[in-house]
Amino acid sequence: MKGHTPYYINVGGQLMDLSEPQVMGILNVTPDSFYENSRQQSEAQIAERTEQIVTEGASIIDIGAYSSRPGAADVTAEEEMKRLSAALRIVRRTAPEAVISVDTFRAQVARQCVEEYGVHIINDISGGELDAEMYRTVAELNVPYILTHMLGNPQNMQEKAEYRNITKEVIAHLGQRMERLHEMGVCDVILDPGFGFAKTLDHNYDLMAHLQELKVLQAPLLVGVSRKSMVYRLLGCTPQEALAGTVALHTIALLKGASILRVHDVKAAAEAVCIVREMQKHTDDGTHQPKQMI
């Protein structure tokens, strides 16, 4: 897609081209995720959701076993790994060729998922702040790492939402940590500005309005806004009613350079990617502009 930098990441020995935006489908194996329809816990539900994600056009499945919604209950590492082990076995059986990401901030959980289940990507909402071993572990595992901007933890992060310039501070925060990751040997770093993590409604929209400025960090951007409070609180609806607003934000994010959309609704996101791609073909080089009427 024109306007997107040709980034590539190594997933299991294969290069994934992020110059064409990718869709990451969410598979939650938690009882308390903020969006009720995203919770899958039985074997049949997990298999069905896996098939849906793949069929509707996602290239990555992101599995999470620890809810990161504000004020979420803590979950032990043992319980998190128990949930992930069960889900990963089902996903591997249902979609053996799928690229799998695991959403965890714990280094030992990340290691087990990669070494025992062949997980391809680690998605750390804490940006390495909740486990001092995470950067070293990811470097040793040699897998792509999603570096997220968040302050504090899911239980207290909203208390830390104070910024003078949200975009500049997010860029500085991510830039410093990306440099450390590169120094430690992590080659593939994907940046997530962390919409909804330690940010107010105004912070989220200010950050989205300036999303293209994160390109200065020269890394692919992941945007996760699917059915979040920045949609449903603004529109005065519920997460279940927030699809239209979510797609609007996905379209804006794509136009501002997002490489990956992390979503609940894969088909709608894939359609947004398709439409933005077609629009950019008709606007980037000027050769497809309609002739003026005389």
Q: Is residue 289 part of a domain?
A: no
Q: Is residue 294 part of a domain?
A: no
Domain count, the chain: 1
Q: What is the per-residue pLDDT for 42?
A: 84
145 in Cβ contact with 190 (< 8 Å): yes
- Pair type for strands 121-124 and 145-148: parallel
Q: What is the per-residue pLDDT for 217?
A: 98
What is the residue range of 275's domain?
8-281
Q: What is the per-residue pLDDT for 291?
A: 42
CA neighbor of 21 nearest in space, from 272, 237, 198: 272
Residue % of the chain over a pLDDT of 70: 89
CA neighbor of 258 nearest in space, from 267, 249, 271: 249
Q: Is residue 1 part of a domain?
A: no
Q: What is the per-residue pLDDT for 159?
A: 77
CA neighbor of 62 nearest in space, from 82, 43, 88, 85: 88
Q: How far is CA 281 from CA 55, 80, 291, in A?
A: 26, 44, 16
Q: Is residue 168 part of a domain?
A: yes
> How does pLDDT run across 208-220, given as a tens digit for each residue?
999 999 999 999 9
CATH value at residue 221: 3.20.20.20
Counting as low any pLDDT under 50, the low residues of the chain are 34-35, 38, 286, 288, 290-294
Q: What is the per-residue pLDDT for 38?
A: 47
Q: Coil, helix or strand for 18?
A: coil
Q: Is residue 256 part of a domain?
A: yes
Q: Is residue 42 part of a domain?
A: yes
Q: Is residue 290 part of a domain?
A: no
Residue 201: how many other CB atoms lie within 10 Å = 14
- In the structure, how many helices (H) and strands (E) does the chain have? 9, 10
Which residues are part of the catalytic machinery? 228, 262
Consecutive H or E run containing 181? helix 166-183
